[in-house]
Amino acid sequence: MKKIFGFLLTVAGTAFFTFAQGQTIDELQAKYVAALGGKDKIANLKNVVQEANMEVMGMQMPAKIWIVFGEASRQEVEIQGQKMITFISKDKGWMVNPLAGSTDAQPLPDDAVKSAAGGLSAGGELYDYKASGLTATYEGKDSANGQAAYKIKLTKGEYVSTIYLDASTYYILRNVAKTNIMGQAVEQTTNFTEYKKTPEGYVFPFSSTISNPMVGEIKASIIKIEVNSAVDIKELEKTN
């Protein structure tokens, strides 16, 4: 169980390279943004509220996630009848973990907060990587989930995020994130599938599998998603 807690805790200038099709990082970025509906569409995405089923080491765990883009996120995961709460904002984060014997919010390491804060971007890291201080490089053609993909590496300090873009749809098939948390190197791979469009016209992956050597796989399936609903940041910050 301790390994699961640790895993959930880790759950945020530009070089141009021309390749066979004559595309650049910025051209790939533009096609990715277009696949998600375009800049204007993404700019109007203020928040999402998701309900999901998660499976970790054979255990089924209902979860609810709130994300107010550019501001904060909250995740509630029900484990063995108790609720684990994780809050992340741009510059701070905490966790309430009753299964560890405490009902008080404990601060998260700064490195964990910085890594998770990347998830607060409405279009993901690639959408506005320059503004986030990330450097992008094209790493060549590859494959992910059995599909041809363009491989893009985003870096900032010790943080490295490698994105695999579907060569036909330009959706993200896989993300491999490497960072250093409390002096320990952490690598996490997430595969995304079942992309669907909401009635509002926003595109999201409804299934994902996160892999980490510490605990194996975490599978998540979205069962409900609400877009641009009324979300109060102050409510997200509550520790109960």
Paired tokens of 6 = 């640790």
pLDDT in tens, 183-214: 677 788 999 999 999 999 999 999 999 987 76
**Mean of the per-residue pLDDT values for the chain?**
86
Looking at residue 54, its pLDDT comes to: 93
Instruction: Tell how many helices (H) and how many strands (E) occur in the chain.
Output: 5, 13
Asked if residue 27 belongs to a domain, the reply is no
What percent of the chain stands above pLDDT 70?
88
Domain-embedded: residue 17: no
Can you give the residue range of the structural domain that contains 98?
2-8+33-230
- 58 DSSP 8-state letter: T
Domain for residue 25, yes or no? no
Q: What is the mean pLDDT of residues 81-92?
A: 91
Domain count, the chain: 1
Question: pLDDT tens digits for 126-141?
Answer: 998 998 889 999 999 9
Q: Is residue 197 part of a domain?
A: yes
Give me the pLDDT at residue 57, please. Answer: 84
Helix or strand (DSSP H, E) at 3: helix 2-10
Closest alpha carbon to 137 in 114, 153, 118: 153
For residue 199, what is the domain's CATH number?
Answer: 2.50.20.10
Instruction: Report which of 81, 48, 51, 54 is spatially closest to residue 64, judged by C-alpha positions.
Output: 51
24 within a domain of the structure (yes/no): no
Q: What is the pLDDT of residue 183?
A: 64
Q: Is residue 128 assigned to a domain?
A: yes
Task: Flag whether 18 is in a domain.
Answer: no
- Is the pLDDT at 159 greater than 70? The verdict is yes
